[in-house]
């Protein structure tokens, strides 16, 4: 991974005053930046829904109820990841560092994925060097998609905006079966290759076997529906989770409005770190209580990238400060309705698939 150096600009003063004003807000309110009673309720709620729907699924008496509860369980697990796992990975779901680690590891590993690898790369790569190829691990170099200008433009890329939704269905299946497994052999579609510690290799294998056990083997063993029904439910669940996951996160960084900065030969960017976060992230319906509750604040992505040490429960209250200071310091804040961010995502796919040199669109807020 290429470590980058940043420059000083208007984003530096914006970020300094933002932190000062946010500190004043929490001091005046006399509250912590971590989760509060509302967050504790969400933790209990989502874990309870996970257990409830799994229990109802594993005791289903008809195929229709089995499919229904299987998909509801998958949705509950995804919402747990959005609302609990992510904040816990940043150490802000609860006050205790120990319980944040427990919440993150427990909720993430039980999805069949490796918490250590994702958490380390998310915090030390994606959050530091967002959208910078060779530094942000979430920048893809997938032969079926052209996501960066350095990738060779192939004839079929002109259709990627059409076939993308169909391939998006496979996102979580690819993550579970291939993405982490291929990392073991130092091979990945990411623009960064990583090595996984031996201890985490063992954990990765154990939890994937456990996941297959309770999601496929146990239902086949306990229920009279057979392999075909269980495997169909398993696939439908992953299709649903994949579309929702990409639909929530993909529009934030894969947009024709966002920048894809390129450092110079000395690995220095011509912008500050705060400005990088603002020009590579799109927020949608940031002040929506519904989106904040269901998506765990992922819809306020720029805010989260600049203030990852704050639980999403507080985002709506500090959003006015965020907007005010961005305008004051002349830092562009890209905020829009979800429909506009989704349209921008597909324009990005179409443009990247047809233009050798793709330039961001001008955003008018």
Mean pLDDT of 208-231: 94
User: Other C-beta atoms within 10 Å of 59: how many?
Assistant: 12
What is the structure's pLDDT at 187? 62
Percent of the chain with pLDDT over 90: 69
pLDDT single digits (tens) 35-80: 999 999 999 999 999 999 999 999 999 999 999 999 999 999 999 9
pLDDT single digits (tens) 311-355: 999 999 999 999 999 999 999 999 999 999 999 999 999 999 999
Q: Which of 26-30, 31-35, 265-269, 290-294 has the lowest mean pLDDT?
A: 265-269
Q: What rounded mean pLDDT belongs to the chain? A: 91
What is the structure's pLDDT at 365? 67
Does the global pTM surpass 0.85?
A: yes
Mean pLDDT of 87-100: 94
What is the structure's pLDDT at 188? 58
What is the structure's pLDDT at 349? 94
Confidence of residue 298 (pLDDT cuts 50, 70, 90): very high
pLDDT single digits (tens) 158-217: 999 999 999 999 999 988 887 777 776 666 555 566 677 788 888 888 888 999 999 999
pLDDT single digits (tens) 3-22: 888 999 999 999 999 999 99
Q: Which of 12-26, 71-85, 253-267, 272-286 has the lowest mean pLDDT?
A: 253-267
């Amino acid at each position: 991974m290429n470590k980058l150096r940043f420059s000083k600009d208007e984003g530096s003063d914006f970020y300094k005053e933002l932190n000062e004003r946010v500190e004043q807000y929490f001091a005046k309110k006399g509250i912590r930046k971590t989760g509060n009673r509302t967050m504790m309720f969400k933790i209990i709620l989502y874990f309870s829904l996970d257990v409830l729907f799994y229990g109802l699924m594993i005791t289903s008496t008809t195929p229709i109820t089995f499919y229904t509860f299987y998909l509801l369980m998958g949705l509950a697990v995804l919402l747990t990841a959005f609302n609990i796992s992510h904040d816990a990975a940043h150490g802000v779901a609860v006050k205790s560092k120990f319980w944040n680690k427990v919440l993150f590891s427990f909720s993430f590993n039980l999805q069949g994925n490796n918490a250590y690898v994702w958490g380390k790369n998310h915090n030390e790569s994606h959050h530091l060097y967002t959208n910078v190829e060779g530094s942000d691990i979430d920048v893809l170099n997938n032969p079926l998609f052209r996501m960066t200008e350095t990738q060779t433009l192939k004839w079929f890329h002109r259709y990627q905006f059409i076939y993308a939704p169909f391939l998006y269905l496979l996102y979580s299946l690819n993550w579970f079966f291939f993405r982490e497994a291929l990392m073991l052999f130092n091979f990945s579609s990411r623009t960064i290759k990583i090595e996984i510690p031996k201890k985490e290799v063992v954990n990765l294998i154990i939890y994937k076997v456990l996941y297959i056990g309770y999601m496929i083997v146990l239902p086949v063993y306990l229920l009279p529906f057979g392999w075909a029904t269980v495997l169909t439910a398993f696939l439908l669940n992953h299709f649903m989770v994949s579309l929702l996951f990409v639909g929530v996160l993909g529009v934030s960084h894969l947009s024709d409005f966002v920048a894809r900065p390129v450092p110079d030969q000395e690995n220095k960017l011509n912008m500050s770190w705060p400005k990088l976060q603002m020009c590579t992230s799109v927020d949608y319906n940031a002040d929506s209580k519904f989106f904040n509750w269901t998506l765990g604040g992922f819809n306020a992505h720029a805010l989260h990238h600049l203030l990852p040490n704050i639980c999403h429960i507080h985002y709506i209250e500090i959003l006015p400060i965020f907007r005010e200071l961005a305008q004051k310091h002349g830092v562009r804040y890209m905020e829009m309705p979800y429909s506009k961010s989704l349209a921008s995502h597909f324009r990005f796919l179409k443009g990247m698939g047809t233009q050798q040199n793709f330039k961001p669109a001008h955003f008018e807020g």
